[in-house]
């Protein structure tokens, strides 16, 4: 749908009402993706992985988006999301530049985000962005939709320069939700995938944009049960639980991680997100013990159940677990899965996904 609204009007729309404008032109919200999209993207990520494993395939992949330019604009800290997007772009042959410190951009001279995005799309064909302000990604999308320059797809169609959120405020991290679902589907392959499974989400569920985005994607899987284990002040907010109710998903809050472990088919740990604390300077005071995954917990976990974490982790997973050779410990594989999922997403955005399937 053409952007026929002013910025204020667009930002005033609910996420649901923004979706027809976004279509497949940008990636802003986990709710953009339905089950068919998820299945297609997981298959595409597998195809990308297989293609790249063959040297000729890797060379072919490196030619798919040659000559394209990307900007990775990260106004908040990032290791994995930045690295995996950057690597995915390199694998597809995209040239890339990065802006990671707003202090050295013209935004520090008072340039608005709208003008900055207009500038970026003068030069690049893709903007991946992370921003503390939840309205920054839709603002960037609106700006790109109305900007002076469009980019031409291989099909000849001219489209606004795509905006991809790599984390927006405390709510949205759509590409993380996709890579998490991809990891869960792969890890649970031997037992029929995510359908019908119980997923235990642990930690700061109130402010963790990764876990909140994942919780919004889980209802696409038939018969899923979601268990939430969070300290009282970090409980999941009603916006997500109401949506689970609307979509008929059974969910429960459990008092500790330990009690729920024997019932879980997957465990997703998260960090206390203290960068959102009022007194931000106080630093990490330690994860409440009931929400720390310890080595002995592996004995209470089902044999097929993977242990995930969006990372970075601190003390919420006992370090000894990294030294074990337990196939259920999947968070390092999860990082790599994220890169293949981002190859899949970028290929689809640029309309070269057919070439990945070979
Ligand atoms: C997350 C983030 O920044 O939202 N990390 C990530 O992208 N893998 C989660 C976190 O920082 O805890």
Does ligand 1 have an atom closer than 6 angstroms to the CB of 167?
A: yes
Question: Can you tell me which residue has the tokens 């359908």?
Answer: 195
User: How far is residue 134 from each of residues 85, 169, 295, 328, measured CA to CA in Å?
Assistant: 20, 4, 36, 34
How high is the mean pLDDT of the chain?
A: 96
Q: Which residues contact 189 (CB under 8 A, 6 or more apart)?
A: none
Does ligand 1 have an atom closer than 6 angstroms to the CB of 173?
A: yes
- Model pTM? 0.96
The pLDDT, as a whole number, for residue 292 is 98
Q: Angle, nearest 10°, between helix axes 209-217 and 238-246?
A: 10
The pLDDT, as a whole number, for residue 296 is 97
Q: Burial level of 274, CB count in 10 A (0-12/13-18/19+)?
A: middle
Does ligand 1 have an atom closer than 6 angstroms to the CB of 165?
A: no
Question: Can you tell me which residue has the tokens 């923004």?
Answer: 18
The β-bridge partners of 202 are 229, 269
Q: Whose CA is closest to 187, among 345, 301, 37, 347?
A: 301
What counts of helices (H) and strands (E) characterise the chain? 13, 11
Does ligand 1 have an atom closer than 6 angstroms to the CB of 271?
A: yes
Q: Whose CA is closest to 220, among 41, 83, 73?
A: 41
Q: Angle, nearest 10°, between helix axes 55-63 and 80-91?
A: 90
Task: Dig out the tokens for 354 from the structure.
Answer: 């057919």
The pLDDT, as a whole number, for residue 276 is 87
| Ligand 1 midpoint to CA 59 (Å) | 31
Question: Can you tell me which residue has the tokens 């893709």?
Answer: 126
Task: Dig out the tokens for 301 from the structure.
Answer: 């976990």
> Residue 154: pLDDT band by 50, 70, 90 thresholds?
confident
Which of 100, 173, 270, 284 is the best mutation target for the ligand 1 pocket, counting ligand atoms within 8 Å of the beta carbon and taking the most?
A: 173
Phi, psi of 273 (to 5 degrees): -90, 70
Residue 177 has pLDDT above 70, yes or no: yes
The pLDDT, as a whole number, for residue 281 is 56
Q: Angle, nearest 10°, between helix axes 113-123 and 136-146?
A: 50
| Cis before 312? omega within 30 | yes
Percent of residues, the chain, with pLDDT higher than 90: 92
Does ligand 1 have an atom closer than 6 angstroms to the CB of 214?
A: no
Q: Whose CA is closest to 350, among 19, 88, 4?
A: 88
**DSSP notation for 95-156:** EEEEE--GGGSGGGGT--HHHHHHHHHHH-SEEEEEESSTTHHHHHHHHHHHSS-EEE-TTS
| Digit-coded pLDDT (tens) for 23-82 | 999 999 999 999 999 999 999 999 999 999 999 999 999 999 999 999 999 999 999 999
The pLDDT, as a whole number, for residue 109 is 84
3-state secondary structure of 267: strand
């Amino acid at each position: 749908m053409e952007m026929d609204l002013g910025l204020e009007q667009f930002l005033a729309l609910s996420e649901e009402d923004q979706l027809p404008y976004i279509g497949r032109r940008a990636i802003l919200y986990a709710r953009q993706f339905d089950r068919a999209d998820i299945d297609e993207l997981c298959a595409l990520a597998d195809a990308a992985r297989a293609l790249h494993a063959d040297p000729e395939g890797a060379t072919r992949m490196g030619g798919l988006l040659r000559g394209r330019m990307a900007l990775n604009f990260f106004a908040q800290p990032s290791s994995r999301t930045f690295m995996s997007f950057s690597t995915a772009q390199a694998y597809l042959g995209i040239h890339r530049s990065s802006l990671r410190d707003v202090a050295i951009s013209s935004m520090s001279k008072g340039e608005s985000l709208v003008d900055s995005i207009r500038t970026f799309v003068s030069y690049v064909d893709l903007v991946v962005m992370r921003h503390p302000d939840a309205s920054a990604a839709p603002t960037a999308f609106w700006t790109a939709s109305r900007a002076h320059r469009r980019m031409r797809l291989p099909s000849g169609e001219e489209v606004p320069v795509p905006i991809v959120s790599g984390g927006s405020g405390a709510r949205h991290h759509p590409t993380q939700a996709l890579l998490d679902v991809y990891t869960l589907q792969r890890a649970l392959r031997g037992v029929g995938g995510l359908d019908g499974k119980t997923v235990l989400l642990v930690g700061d569920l109130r402010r963790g944009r990764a876990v909140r985005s994942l919780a919004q994607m889980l209802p696409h899987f038939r018969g899923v049960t979601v268990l939430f284990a969070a300290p009282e002040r970090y409980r999941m907010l009603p916006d997500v639980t109401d949506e689970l109710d609307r979509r008929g998903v059974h969910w429960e809050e459990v008092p500790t991680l330990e009690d729920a472990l024997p019932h879980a088919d997957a465990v997703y740990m998260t960090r206390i997100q203290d960068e959102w604390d009022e007194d931000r300077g106080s630093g990490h005071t330690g994860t409440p013990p009931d929400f720390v995954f310890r080595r002995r917990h592996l004995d209470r976990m089902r044999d097929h159940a993977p242990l995930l974490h969006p990372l970075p982790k601190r003390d919420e997973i006992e370090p000894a677990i990294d030294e074990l050779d337990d196939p259920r410990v999947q968070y390092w594989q999860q990082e790599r899965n994220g890169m293949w999922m981002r190859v899949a997403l970028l290929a689809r955005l640029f309309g070269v996904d057919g070439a990945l399937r070979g």
